[in-house]
Chains A and B, each alone.
Chain A
């Protein structure tokens, strides 16, 4: 791979092939200029937008870190005020987690690479992809606008109550935090639904589960975890804002409980750290086979381990609460789960190590970063195991020992693969080679900086230095370590700047990389660098997990191109396939550039600014604008050519199913919070509050369940072509549902007047739970109304998917309403 490396010659094209490529280029041509970027739905452009934006947040988070380290370099410093320091420590955590690492791994790497690795031309929902980016950008601007008004979040990245309640933190700081995270969570959920549906449905025919790249397994695990973990954080922030702005009472004794915040936070927070590290595993398992020059050892074990880590990770959350005084039996359960979650990680570590040892590894820069990753992951993992020993945790939690632990994991184990991945895929994205010498140098500086910054924290933590302190006394023996850490921090920053410098230098040097500079095994190495807009000229033939190492299949692809087969150039087309065995399914029509995602993104962000300042009516107006924009979105008709042969559930159904999964988890959180609060209280509800009615709620819920039947029948009728009948069924369901909602809301408002939420925890949780239920029925009514309008105009296969998704939605809402009803009526027990 030296300077005078010759690129292998591209095979000559026949006229059929040339014609296909010209058509593809014409069909997929991007809109020019800034407008093209603002309206893009191309996963590669969106990936790049995420990449640059998250780099800016990385720089901000890094600056915050260096400012803190400067303040802590010596004892009793006066560089930063206590209030300023608290904002720095909060924003550092929030920025790095929510605005850097998650969007970088899922939004930048995930979006750019997943379609390329599975042989698709885009993600399953390109416009939704763009929306996830604009919402993410909006959440970042929202959160950082707090700095402009000197009210940045300041209660720590986990924002414990009561410190975060209005009484102790009266400004807008915490409101920025809570609302910003809700918006950020919506962006992440939208992105995750896209990732899961893409991996399920858009794999090239023949790419069954056992042939899917390990990177995609990792992204799948991360995306599924995000969908199921975010609702807990969202609900926590909703409770917090309701308490801060409307006087609800979730967290204050005697009715409420501060630990409710902690439980919900960590039910999100622990899976979050696996979400952070899983894509890093994915990058490592992409780089290792390429540079070890052999397949990954124990591929099925590694794939399952990636999924298992995410799954078990949902059961360990209270290990963040070992010092709170909850019962020893409860603690032991969580400690057991925390030790269990180690095993899928040790499987992976040894699989990686033995793959390298069984091959003939080339220690180029990407593999060096993976080597560093393994060292730091094991180091951080070992201290993590120490924390599963409850008595030790109870001594070392909230000290610099735990700061060391999680920085070795987050920085060492999540960011090192990112750096390795940036080097590894730089040639693919830019078409140019990176400078190997500068690359190796950047690795050593970053490695040394990481070690020097974070290792002394173990010692100073054991010597008693607690977290989140803006200064410390001399004479406690902490001074030298802190100084070392600060020096290390600056060395680390220098190393990161070296990486950036390398990328710039390499860009300018412009050494052509060709399709496949490293002989990687996965599909992205079969296409030109940078990839053409349409990614693949033909649907690739896949018969193994390392398609680029199957010469026969690649030759077959060239033959297909020469005969004009599987080109799919009649529109923006990509093949879909079944979930398990990737049997070829219908061709999906993809949208081209669209203005609606950015419009919705701006409107929703504006709504959040209005909620921040409690202008609820204006916020509702912006939500209405967003909904109108969504209507415009759905009105974008896609050209025909959609085959009606139904082999498997369409993409739209999967999107709705995953959305329902997220919403169901939201309600699970509400119901779980109800049960938790119920058992924290002896009297429930308080004696002056009336117990809930039985007859009317039961009958109304029955009515709602019944209304799902005409929705189901509408879908059946539509599928049989009886459009008028379908319309009538939807109309009938609409009337039932509208009646249900009107009556329920009336009773709900009455209940709020009779028992104001500000006066009892019971009323706070019940009002919120029912309110969310009613909001989901309202959303369903809007969906129904839209269907009624569209069914009256034109019936297309797209509308049929809409009917299917809507029917599914109403069954889900019915089931959720039954669960809510049972929870509500449990007050009689």
Chain B
């Protein structure tokens, strides 16, 4: 009874895993692939899961058999000591060795070619992502574009992504597009991003990096070539002219760069086209006027430990800064 219950439970769980993982959740789902690379990882997973379920069922069946036939010594069909030892060697050495070698060759010789670092010549666009505590700096080499926490790429285009860090180890990961790549001081890692359909794909920092590791998400927006070029051109331009006086007088330019103004700081994200971004604080808040005001007035309440300090200013000053930032399209 107990072993049957156990067996039933495990089968239910395996089934649940299949159903639940495949369908629901947000857009950070490893097994809802949106790229050739992630498809190969996902396929690898399902096959391994299938094999694992069979192996697990065999073990549970043997346990159940031990329980059900507990009053009788020996295995069915009068398998004796010798036979059982042969089964141990067969099931314990020969079969696993064969299956494992097959798995190794498939995954670590073949599948790995699609997830390994790409050669630059096999790609047609480059993006550099630099990890910071707790945001992502995004640059497009060959253009003046600098933005943060949001990466745009054209669909069905192999993009060469270079990952590095400005402080501690971070890890760049977009589950629906590819594996993760660590960002290690002194090294640059490379993966390919190749979305096979348009969409917004969410990712998160995948190496513990301190207080706000939980709030260091990133999104990749895959869009048509035309949309992408429009976006890139909009971001390449210097900032729209506006009244930056309050912003600069409050010292914000010491940390934040706004291209085309006197603000030259490189501690925090580039704000030149802040209003072209969908979110604030690395996807912690949606980019709305109310959230923007809340984020810059009380950063420590929104994201405790973030490098942006709580500053006390007059309401009028805040209003002016808000207005200026909202104009940065």
Contacts and interface: CB of A to CB of B under 8 A. Distances in A.
Interface of A: 81-83, 86, 155-156, 160-163, 168, 252-254, 257-259, 294, 297-298, 301, 323-325, 328, 331-332, 335-336, 339-340, 342-343, 346-351, 353-354, 356-363, 368, 371, 374-375, 378-379, 382-383, 385-386, 388-392, 394-399, 444, 447, 451, 455, 458-459, 462-464, 466-473, 475-478
23 contacts: A82-B212, A160-B208, A163-B210, A168-B167, A301-B92, A323-B182, A343-B93, A351-B92, A353-B63, A358-B73, A363-B67, A382-B52, A385-B48, A386-B52, A391-B111, A392-B107, A395-B175, A395-B178, A398-B173, A464-B26, A464-B203, A472-B214, A475-B26
Contacts of A374: 59, 63
Given A464-B28, A466-B204, 9 more contacts: A163-B210, A259-B187, A331-B112, A350-B91, A391-B115, A398-B171, A398-B173, A464-B29, A477-B25
B66 interface: yes
Contacts of A451: 9, 13
Given A297-B88, A357-B66, A382-B52, A324 B182 contact: yes
A750 to B, nearest CB: 31
B184 A163 contact: no
Nearest to A451: B9
Task: Kindly list the 9 A-B residue pairs having the minimum CB-CB distance in the complex, ordered from nearest.
Answer: A253-B186, A477-B25, A464-B28, A394-B179, A389-B107, A476-B26, A469-B214, A325-B189, A347-B92
A155 B71 CA distance: 53
B70 interface: yes
- Which has the most chain A C-beta neighbours within 10 Å: B91, B182, B206? B182
B184 A258 contact: yes
B231 interface: no
A347 B10 CA distance: 22
A353 B66 contact: yes
Nearest to B109: A332
Contacts of A336: 104, 108
- Which has the most chain B C-beta neighbours within 10 Å: A81, A254, A350? A350
B328 interface: no
Interface residues of B, number: 100
B117 A391 contact: no
A382 B56 contact: yes
Contacts of A386: 45, 48-49, 52
A389 B48 contact: yes
A318 to B, nearest CB: 13
Interface string B18-51: 0011001110111100000010110011001100
Contacts of A478: 25-26
Contact of B66 (A361, A375, A471): A361
B65 interface: yes
Contacts of B100: 339-340, 342-343, 385, 388
Contact of A392 (B48, B173, B212): B48
Contact of B55 (A161, A362, A363, A378): A378
Interface stretch (B79-87, B234-242, B246-254): B79-87
A346 B103 CA distance: 16
Contact of A346 (B80, B96, B181, B206): B96
Contact of B52 (A82, A156, A385): A385
- Which has the most chain A C-beta neighbours within 10 Å: B70, B80, B108? B108
Contacts of A86: 210-211
Contacts of B97: 343
Given A162-B185, A163-B168, A358-B73, A469 B13 contact: no
B65 A258 contact: no
Contacts of B91: 346, 350
Interface string B164-203: 0001110101010011111011110110000000000011
B62 interface: yes
Contacts of A361: 66-67, 70
Contacts of A161: 169
A388 B103 contact: yes
Contacts of B108: 331-332, 335-336, 388-390
A754 B114 CA distance: 50
B207 interface: yes
B214 A470 contact: yes
A751 B64 CA distance: 69
A563 B111 CA distance: 73
A584 B320 CA distance: 92
Nearest to A332: B108
Contact of B204 (A349, A383, A391, A464): A464
Contact of B59 (A168, A342, A343, A375): A375
A109 B187 CA distance: 45
B88 A351 contact: yes
Contact of A82 (B92, B206, B304): B304
Given A156-B208, A258-B169, A476-B25, A383 B213 contact: no
Interface of B: 2-3, 6, 9-10, 13, 16-17, 20-21, 24-26, 28-31, 38, 40-41, 44-45, 48-49, 52, 55-56, 59-60, 62-63, 65-67, 69-75, 80-81, 84-85, 87-89, 91-93, 96-97, 100-101, 103-104, 106-109, 111-112, 114-117, 133, 167-169, 171, 173, 175, 178-182, 184-187, 189-190, 202-214, 304-305
A104 B199 CA distance: 52
A259 B133 CA distance: 19
A441 to B, nearest CB: 12
Given A343-B93, A385-B52, A395-B41, A463 B180 contact: no
Nearest to B165: A162
A190 to B, nearest CB: 32
B290 to A, nearest CB: 17
B10 to A, nearest CB: 7
B63 A471 contact: no
A399 B45 CA distance: 15
B70 A301 contact: no
Given A82-B212, A162-B168, A471-B214, A354 B84 contact: yes
Nearest to B61: A353
Contacts of B190: 325
A82 B97 CA distance: 45
B287 to A, nearest CB: 15
Contacts of B88: 297-298, 301, 347, 350-351, 354
B75 A360 contact: no
Nearest to A368: B2
A467 B212 contact: no
A468 B208 contact: yes
Contact of B305 (A83, A395, A398, A471): A83
Nearest to A444: B2
A577 B227 CA distance: 81
B33 to A, nearest CB: 10
B168 A323 contact: no
Contacts of A83: 211, 304-305
B167 A464 contact: no
Contact of B210 (A168, A325, A473): A168
A373 to B, nearest CB: 11
B112 A390 contact: yes
B133 to A, nearest CB: 8
Contact of B17 (A459, A469, A471): A459
B93 A346 contact: yes
Contact of A378 (B20, B56, B89, B93): B56
Contact of B180 (A155, A301, A323, A332): A323
A82 B305 contact: yes
Given A258-B185, A325-B181, A394-B180, A468 B31 contact: no
B302 to A, nearest CB: 11
A472 B216 CA distance: 11
B52 A359 contact: no
B85 to A, nearest CB: 5
A298 B212 contact: no
Given A258-B184, A470-B214, A463 B48 contact: no
Contacts of B112: 328, 331-332, 390-391
